[in-house]
Structure 1
Amino acid sequence: MIKNCGYKGTCLSLRMLESLQQRTNDLQVEIKKTSDLRLSFDTFLKVEDADRAAAKAEKARKEVLQLDAEIERLRLVYAELMERKQQQQRQIQRHGAYRDFMVRVVRMTKFDDVRELTGHIESLLHFEDHFCKRENKAFQRVDQLKKTLLTLKDNHPLLRLQKNNQLSQLQTEIEKTRSEALSWDRKWNHIQETAAKKTLLLGRIKMATLNLYEMTHDTVEEDKAVNMNDTEKQLDKVKMFIQEHEGIMKQHQTQSQKHDGRYKKHVKVHKAHFN
């Protein structure tokens, strides 16, 4: 504050200047505080943005690791599936010969396809297994009853009689089961023998057909020879050969008949002349 002012107006002006100076100083202090606060806030925002970027980068890194793990898992699954596929292809190749044999057997039997024949054979095997199990169970029951009879032989005559009856029934059942099993065995053996005979007959037919085809093949002009295993096509070629030469055969037969007629007439005339 300014003291002992000579003039009232001058003192008032000085007070106003002091007030303005104080206000200016206060504003400068406030501006400095505001500037400091702004710097602090900018620093806070930068730190927060850096934390967010770090969190985002960590999340992206985890996602990449998860994707790599999933890719590795899928690669292993794919390798396993390819291995299974190759194993199945090898099994199909190994079983191809059995399938061809079954197809040939089906052609010689009353069945329409391989599946029906396989089902019939599986049914026979099922019955055979069923009868074997029944026979084993019956033998086990017989042994058990024999042991029981030995234990109760002297003490329970009536029970022994009942067990004897059961034993007789079981023996009858065993004989019946055995007879059925033998019957199925004979049927199965007959099927095998029939299949073998028909397979042999089929082979002979194929060889005869091949011989006929080779005999006619030399006289027929063809662009391409028939496969030696294609019996049906060979038969078709032989049939075509016969049809093509049927007219020639008929003409030859007619000429032969005329020649025979003239010969017989000549013989009759000759005989009449000598008589």
Structure 2
Amino acid sequence: MAAFNFEEYFQSKFSERLFQDPDASENHMTAATRLLEKKREMLELEQALSAQKEAFQMKMASLNSRREELDKKELSLRGSLMKFNQFLIETDIKKQRAEKKANNERQEKEQKVEEAEAKMAEREKLTSFLEKQRKVSEREKVYRSYMERVIEKSGEFQELKDILRKHDTLSSNLGDMIEKSTVMTDRLDSMKQEYYTMITKNDEATMRYTNIIADLTWRKETAMSNHQKWESLWTHIQNTAARNVLLLGRVKMATENIYVQIYKQRGIPAKEAESVDDQLIKIKTYIKDLTDIIVESSKQEKQSKEVFDRLAMPGK
């Protein structure tokens, strides 16, 4: 049911009579007419007051219930926000740890790359040295005959086998160097494989942490949006409650004016009522008295008319 517009009713029916002397507007009306008019107005007023009071009580009950629900939701939201803030702090700590770990892994990777490059440079030097030694050995074979003649003239080597033994020693050293070079090459390949594996894992971890950060950012924005929505709703409820309080004040003021007018018409000073309900009871009692007066007046008027009719027609 639509709420009765109490303010418009008072403005159209009672604004002039509440704030002016009622005797000035009722001098030209008969007692019966005034009683009928008062009866009609008081009935309308009673219906309007009853409807407005019921609607106001229903609205206040609804507002109180809604306010309790909002208080509970606000407490729940505050708890959720505290948990979410704690979650963000823990996430920041985990993120810092992950970044620190990634930096350490990147530094270790760079260090291993530098070591691998140093090993490769050393290998190239050894390979170049071995190649030179091989070329020297080839040149020495060419001069075998020359060495034999040298042995004959030299006192350092007694036989050619001494030179060959020396050559075998150098060849053995060359084999050892080649073996070491092969080992270093395998180690270098292993280090390269570890390097590529480390880069792949680092990229996967970076992508995973990026997705986690994006998800947390979305959750934070959603929580902030919900907080703004509930805050706006709470502001709207406060404004609505303020308007209802203002309307209640106007109702109380109009009731007070009617209460004073009743006592003014009776010619006695108005008594101070304890509450608006007491004033409404007094107004209702006054309306009932007026109704009884109107009924009694109607009966007397009817009886007078019957008597007058009988007197006017004596033949009958």
**TM, length-normalised to structure 1:** 0.43
With a CA cutoff of 8 Å and minimum separation of 6, indicate the structure with the bigger relative contact order: 2
**TM, length-normalised to structure 2:** 0.38
